[in-house]
Each structure stands twice: as C-alpha cells, then as structure tokens.
Copies of this chain bind each other. A is one copy, B any other.
C-alpha cells in the first residue's frame, strides 16, 4: 500500500495564507487540476442531486474559473510546531469542503505537520479510491499508511492520538457525550439547510433561510455565555462547526438574509474563533467560496 506513497512527497496544496503569515516550514502550492463537466442533462440532474445530498460525494462534478485563479499561482504555507514526520500524516481533501476544513483546523490546533493532497473529484486519485473504498469521498486522513474516514471520526482520532496538546473532547464522559450530540446535530442539520439557502430559489429558498436561522439559534442557545462551545477553550464542537463560517457569505449573499441580526452571539463566537491563527489561516476566503458556488449555480442553470 505504501509503494505509491513516495509520489506524495511533493509540494503541498493548501488554502492560500494571509499575508502576515509566518513561514517556518514553507512548501510550494501546486496548481489545482480542474476539469469540465461531461455527461447528458439526465446524468447531470442525477449527479447534481446526489452530489448535493451527500456533500462532496463521489458524484460531485465541478469546474470553476475562480478555483483555477486561486490555485494557478505559487503560494506559501506554514505549519507551526511540527511534531511528527511529514510522511506519516496525509490528508486527502478538497479546499472548500467544510468536512475537510474540520480536519485541517484540528491539525493546526495540535500543531501537527502533514501533507495536504488536493483531490480532483472529477478524476479521483487511486489513493483516494483505495483509502476510502466505501464512500470514495474526501476527507481521508492517512496516518502511518492507514486511512481514517468521516470528518467527525477523524477529529476524534486526532484528539485521541495527539492528546497532549489542545485537547478537543472533554475528559468527562457526560460532557463528551454532549459534545458528540451537538456535532451529530450539526452533521444532520447545518450542511443541508445551508446548501438550500444558496442552491434553491423561491419558496424552497425562503423555507431554507428560515430553517437555517432556527438551527443557528438552537446552536447559539447551546453556546450560552461561554466563549466557545468547548468552554474557555476551543473544543470538538467548535472545530466541527467553524468551517461553515466561510460559507456564511455565500448563504447570506445568495439567500439575501443576515444571520447576525438574528443570532448576534453566534456571529460573535465565529469572530472570536477567527482571531485564532489555527482557524483564520485554515479557512478559505469567503469570497473564493462564493465564486466557487456562483460557478456551480451557473453550471446547473440556477443563474
């Protein structure tokens, strides 16, 4: 299984860094390979439907000029406090995926050096197909040659293996169960309602906006007056929820609504998270996500 892994010792692909980013460990960003959609309108419909139901699933087809712009240049990327050999930790990912971003935030919080391998979801690598034969989806986290799939499970794994720095799950079993409950709630609710705010029109979109705000209100209530869902420090729920924040601009612009007016404490939490380098340097720019979604809407005839 490790035979082909030598080819991964290449420059990394990563979200573009902020200008002020320090570069202790610098890698070049490789160009992102983009492909056009091929298939009949009937195929398109099925693929679109499946892709959006399942997130960044095996049938998710895309081709965006904004993506090309973002990645057709060299860029620098930094990871602080490396604690393991680079070749031991690999992440197969796709840059706007909130599920992939979860893993990247967890790795950044722990200061774990890793290889980020951007997948072309139209032409998946042999490595992805071998490492996640059940779903063939990103993110896949490969540690010492062994794959772990499903983002919430990967984050728990990372927290259990690198447990000394920045613990994410609480040590108390009841608190741990509560954290798992809310991550499960996020998985069941936020992606789907969020998607419908920018990917539907008319009544469907109106319903989605209302539903999305109700979900965020529920989460805001759960946050209460704590600085983070994890309490005084960033925790499992924070890591699994904050990646959606870089999609809020898309949801709000395309849906013509504003989350902050209804959920100011939630947005204050998100801004507090963004003050942490592990998050601000990991989340892609919200305008880039918007460009990506705009192209998707055009492709599927919604514009």
Contact = CB atoms under 8 A, between A and B. Distances in A.
Interface of A: 134, 143, 146, 148-150, 153-154, 156-157, 160-161, 173-174, 176-178, 180-181, 184-185, 218
A153 B180 contact: yes
A-B interface, 5 closest residue pairs, ranked by CB to CB distance from nearest: A160-B173, A157-B177, A148-B177, A153-B180, A161-B173
Contact of A174 (B134, B148, B173, B181): B148
A156 B177 contact: yes
Given A181-B148, A181-B150, A181-B153, A218 B174 contact: no
Nearest to A135: B185
A112 to B, nearest CB: 14
Contacts of A150: 180-181, 184
Nearest to A162: B173
Contacts of A134: 185, 218
- Copies of this chain per assembly: 2
B184 A153 contact: yes
A186 B42 CA distance: 30
Contacts of A146: 174
A184 B150 CA distance: 9
Contacts of A143: 174
A99 to B, nearest CB: 13
19 contacts: A134-B185, A134-B218, A143-B174, A146-B174, A148-B174, A148-B178, A148-B181, A149-B181, A150-B181, A150-B184, A153-B180, A153-B181, A153-B184, A154-B177, A156-B180, A157-B174, A157-B176, A160-B173, A160-B176
A149 B154 CA distance: 22
A297 B154 CA distance: 40
Contacts of A156: 177, 180
Nearest to A218: B134
Contacts of A148: 174, 177-178, 181
Contacts of A160: 173, 176
Given A156-B177, A157-B177, 13 more contacts: A134-B185, A134-B218, A143-B174, A146-B174, A148-B174, A148-B181, A149-B181, A153-B177, A153-B180, A153-B181, A153-B184, A156-B180, A157-B173
Contacts of A154: 177
Identify which of A143, A154, A177, A178 gathers the most chain B CB atoms within 10 Å of its CB.
A177
Nearest to A148: B177
A217 B104 CA distance: 34
A153 B179 CA distance: 10
Contacts of A173: 157, 160-161
Nearest to A222: B134
A134 B178 CA distance: 12
Nearest to A187: B184
A205 B150 CA distance: 29
A173 B148 CA distance: 10
